[in-house]
Chains A and B, each alone.
Chain A
Amino acid sequence: MKEKISLPYKMVKAYFRLMINGLYYRRYYSLDVDNIPADGTPMLMVSDHQNCLNDALGVLLAVNDRKMRFIARADAFTITPPFTKFILWVGLRPAFRMMHQGEEQLSRNQETFRLTEIDLLDGHSILLYPEAGHQTGHWLGFFSQGYLRMGFEAAEHANFEKEIFILPSCNHYSKYHGIRNDMLVRFGKPVSLKPYYELYKTHPRTAWRQVNEEIKARIREMMLDVKDRAHYDEIDYLRESAFGQDFARSLGKDPGVLPEKLEADKELVARIETRGIPFEEVRELRETMQSLGLEDRQFEKQPNLALIFGEVLLLLLTLPLAVVAIWPSLLCWYIPLHFSHKMEDNMFEGTFVLPIDVLLILPLSFLITVLVEWHWLGAWSLLHGFALPLLCIFEWYWTRLALRLRADFRYLKAGKRAQALKELRQKLFTKLKNILQ
């Protein structure tokens, strides 16, 4: 049954799209959207969970022809009553987990299950994350089977006459932290539960297990799944460094295009995990670079005085605009990022920054700007108001350049140590190239 989408919902979504695609991410990709079954098909969409709320927003923007429902951590419903009202309206339902809400709250899932089954049988699409919590890196965590209970129980309530689908999907980010990164959402081929109905009638857990294995395999095919967690940091460094970019180019992929980089990274990680590399040497290089405050790019294009002079000049010339752009960047990025860095789980950074900016800071900043400036500037104050998101982007890149300049000073200061490290890095990369290519 197709659902009519209300105008306010469409408007809110369009606003989110503009802010997220235009402001928050540098590039956003939604891939293989054709794999999503037609609206009106009962479907549970399940995905890897990489970056808290940002994952769900990524899917929300990719699916345009229907109102998605989401199952989210119950604690999201306890932040403030207006926010709870908003997320219920958007289509979120609470999931109570033992590790987050405690054992005694688990029974409250019954209501979520009941409503989800009704939604499914009405032909709606529901997104959930079987890993329960997000991961802290690029891997697939333990995959709970709760979604299959919902799917099969809904089928049972319809006397197994309705075909219910599970749609595997994947999220991937160029970087987890900061803004102006790239994000992609990819959809796999849907899996019908119908062929499993007979098995489910006699052996429900076996049916859950078999479907779960199939879904996990399909998600793993799409995502970057680093299995060697003991060497995760070393693998991640190589992937992100010039070595990973050269590796991508050697496969004919463009490292600047996230979907292509993802494919290259998957191949790189697979080769590292099967062939093995001298991880100790990679760790030593990475840690030495970190301790000196150096960046991998500096070994590719060595900073010199002329480059530093150019950077200083550019920063000084654009300083007046950077000062103007402190409003509203201070509220949009600097203060939220400062607090999110102090969080125990820093993967919540995006969840903390994005909705606060989009729902609160930017609309509020617009109003304040226009109200304060109207007296002197009249309608021109609207121009300033609408330019605030662009000023935020400018400020972000200005700060990046300032940090880059600081790192380049460090490189010059490191002198012979930086040079020795460069040679060590070059030798290691040559060794790795021989192993992996």
Chain B
Amino acid sequence: MEKEEMIEKLRAAIAEEFELEEKDIAPEAPIKETLDLDSLSLVDLIALIEAQTGVKLKGVEVTHILTFEALYDFVYERM
């Protein structure tokens, strides 16, 4: 999967799961505040990423990622 394709796929899936507009999930937007990401939502996000890309992340890793752009880079590196 190309990076652009992965980003599109993830963005659409995150928007659907978190009931947001895709435009809200801008690359530079802060993940925690945009998704209201608490421990439980984080588990949902990790499951979603795994379902879409096959990449299994650890919660601790994701908590250190600040923006969606950084998240996409992080996931793509592990694909």
Is B42 touching A98 in the complex (CB atoms < 8 A)?
A: yes
Task: Please tell me if the beta carbons of A99 and B63 are within 8 angstroms of each other in the complex.
Answer: yes
A144 touches B59 (CB 8 A): no
Query: Is the CB–CB distance between A103 and B40 below 8 Å?
Result: no
Residue total for A at the interface (Cβ-Cβ under 8 A): 20
Q: How far does the alpha carbon of A209 sit from the alpha carbon of B42 in the complex, in Å?
A: 15
Total number of residue pairs linking A and B with CB closer than 8 Å: 45
Using A98-B42, A205-B18 as known contacts, say yes or no to A212 and B63 having CB atoms under 8 A apart.
Answer: no
Let me know if A142 is at the binding interface, CB within 8 A. Answer: yes
Chain A CB within 8 A of B43 CB? yes
- Contact assessment for A203 and B38 in the assembled complex, using a CB-CB cutoff below 8 Å: no
CB < 8 Å neighbour of B38 from A102, A144, A204, A209 = A144
Could you tell me if A145 and B38 are in contact, using CB atoms closer than 8 angstroms? Answer: yes
In this assembly, does A307 line the interface, its C-beta being within 8 Å of a C-beta of chain B? no
Of B32, B40, B58, the residue contacting A149 (CB under 8 A) is B40
Question: Is A293 in the interface zone, CB < 8 Å from B?
Answer: no
Partner of A106, one of B33, B36, B43: B43
C-alpha spacing A98/B17, complex, angstroms: 21
User: Quick one: closest B residue to A212, CB to CB?
Assistant: B36
Are B39 and A146 within 8 A (Cβ)? yes
Main secondary structure, interface of A, reads helix
- Contact, CB under 8 Å: B59 / A98: yes
Majority secondary structure of chain B interface residues (helix, strand, loop or mixed): helix
Which residues of chain A are near B32, meaning CB under 8 Å?
142
Residues of chain A from 281 to 319 with CB closer than 8 A to chain B in the complex: none
Residue of B39, B41, B63 most packed against chain A (CB within 10 A): B39
- In the complex, chain A residues whose CB is within 8 Å of the CB of B1: none
Question: Is A103 touching B60 in the complex (CB atoms < 8 A)?
Answer: yes
Q: Which of A103, A142, A145, A206 contacts B58 (CB 8 A)?
A: A103
The A114-147 residues at the B interface (CB cut-off 8 A) are 132, 142, 144-146
Q: Which among A102, A205, A206 has the highest number of chain B CB atoms within 10 Å?
A: A205
Task: Write 17 A-B pairs (CB below 8 A) sorted by A numbering.
Answer: A98-B42, A98-B59, A99-B39, A99-B63, A103-B58, A106-B40, A109-B40, A132-B38, A142-B33, A144-B39, A144-B40, A145-B36, A146-B39, A204-B19, A205-B17, A205-B19, A205-B36
Top 3 nearest A-B pairs (CB, nearest first) are: A144-B38, A103-B59, A205-B19
Residues of A within 8 A of B (CB): 97-99, 102-103, 106, 109, 132, 142, 144-146, 149, 203-206, 208-209, 212
